[in-house]
A and B are shown apart, each in its own frame.
Chain A
Amino acid sequence: MVNSLGESLLELGALDAAADAFERALAAVVAATSADDASAASIQANQARLFSFRGDIEAARDLFESCLSLVEHKVDDADNGGDFMLHVIHSRVLKLFGEFEQAHGDASRGAERLQQVKRLEAQYGFLQA
């Protein structure tokens, strides 16, 4: 929930408050599971977006790369393609990364990722907010 709060704060432009919310969310996930849990990737994708809002484009790109890599490993490792929420998180990370790339000079790569989001939504039956 505190991650969702951070997302709305980010949309409102309250970046410091959003950063605080994401840190609390990440700390909770790490304490409850581990740093390489898929939920951590979901929160880190929001933190990457926060970096890009602050103009730190390289830090944002690095963090997007690492959290996408984490969640893709989880999908690859999971039996039978992984559970439903894993695909939702995968899709969310792809969506944020794709939008970031489209805004920062790699439109075709971004469009590819957003197409992948559409495929996941259609295959598993959900829609990203």
Chain B
Amino acid sequence: MVAASPPTKKKAGSSTKREKRAILSSWAESFQGAMRTLESSAADSTEAAHAGAYKAKRELNAVLRAARNPGAPSHALSLTMRGLGYVFATTGLLPQAEAAYLRALTEARARGEASEAALGAWRDVAVICLEQRKYADAEAHHTAALAALQARAATAGSGGGKRLRNNAHSSEVLELQLCLADALRLQARLDEAEALVQKVLAAREGSLGACHPETLGAVYDLSHVLRSKVVASTGRREGEGLCQVEMERQALDSLDAAAEATASLDARWQGGLRALCEGSLSWGEQLLSLGSTAQAHAEHAEAVLLLRLALPVYEEAFTASSIDFAEVGRIQAHRPASTLL
């Protein structure tokens, strides 16, 4: 299944083209097999998805052995390590996922600082750092990826490649800048985060229009940062010695003040994205997804805002006497934003 047996009694490098093709297709075939295992189980129940992930992990361990064989593509090891990182991440083994992604990054950078493989691995490492609440590390990886991408665009630009020069403001750069803004916001560097999101929003409004989903996503991000600033300035502080009633009032006042401060932005992203969703439940799922992410990063004011918006949608769809209304799984979603699938 993995690789054809290496030719025996032959000097290294003396394999024929036909043999090289056999080794190459063997690595690619087994890698694709592992990815298919992941894909086919991803839509199943959580339990089946985990079983599929473990099976894919075993397959990828075997693929690793083929990745250094002659004939395997230069990025085979990096790609296989990213696959393993993905499997670790989906099964909750985040430190192992980080180690796999870092190895993938090292391998990919050795073959090109701004190669697609390196940029993908950088994003993977950054996302997994964010999931582990290692926000400064996530910031460093996003910053490095952005620098590599912008350097690549500059090099292409100096050669007269107009299309590539435009990459400096491509959707890839803008998306990375929003990821960087997330890492800054989660470190409470709210002014820096706000400035970056404003910049991305202006670029998207200019290139995509005000109603494009990516523009609306940036509107949400800006609203999120501004709410975080209000919560940071009005929220409960440790050691204030407040009685319970005062604490309760302050917590709820903080939520109201945050919502008031961003009302017009909220009307914009909520109206726009809701119109793009097919059916109200799809809209509710979007809100729940955002709310769960906020909760996983201990951004509880944001989580409350989003879950309160989602709640009536779920109540209408499932009634207030349903499991769906009562409960959602509390497992962190560990699927990196940049995936191999």
A1 and B327 form a contact (CB under 8 A) = yes
Residues of chain A lying within 8 A (CB to CB) of residue B308: 5
B250 interfacial contact with A, CB 8 Å: yes
Which of A1, A4, A43 has the most C-beta atoms of chain B within 10 angstroms of its own C-beta? A1
Residues of chain B lying within 8 A (CB to CB) of residue A14: 248, 251-252, 255
Q: Known contacts A4-B303, A16-B248, A83-B47: does B327 contact A42 (CB below 8 Å)?
A: yes
B311 and A5 form a contact (CB under 8 A) = yes
Q: Known contacts A1-B326, A5-B308, A32-B323: does B247 contact A128 (CB below 8 Å)?
A: no
Interface size class of A (residues with CB under 8 A): 35 or more
Expressed in whole angstroms, the minimum distance between the Cβ of A40 and any Cβ of chain B is: 9
Expressed in whole angstroms, the minimum distance between the Cβ of B224 and any Cβ of chain A is: 15
Stretch from A21-29, A97-105, A106-114 that touches the partner: A21-29
B86 interfacial contact with A, CB 8 Å: no
Q: Known contacts A9-B304, A15-B244, A125-B50: does B292 contact A39 (CB below 8 Å)?
A: no
Cross-chain contact of A28 among B45, B54, B325, B330 (Cβ < 8 A)? B325
A12 and B301 form a contact (CB under 8 A) = yes
Going nearest first, the 8 A-B pairs with the smallest beta carbon separation are A125-B91, A31-B321, A28-B326, A8-B300, A127-B92, A84-B47, A8-B303, A5-B307
- New contact pairs (16) apart from A88-B329, A126-B331, CB-CB < 8 Å: A4-B307, A7-B295, A8-B303, A9-B251, A11-B298, A12-B255, A15-B244, A17-B248, A28-B322, A32-B322, A39-B327, A43-B326, A84-B47, A125-B50, A125-B54, A125-B93
Tell me the B residues contacting A by CB distance below 8 Å.
45-47, 50, 53-54, 91-94, 235-236, 244, 247-248, 250-252, 254-255, 288, 291-292, 295-296, 298, 300-301, 303-304, 307-308, 310-311, 314, 320-332, 334
Could you list some 16 contacts between A and B, CB below 8 A? Answer: A1-B327, A2-B326, A5-B304, A5-B311, A8-B300, A9-B304, A12-B236, A12-B251, A12-B300, A16-B248, A25-B326, A27-B321, A33-B323, A42-B327, A43-B326, A84-B46
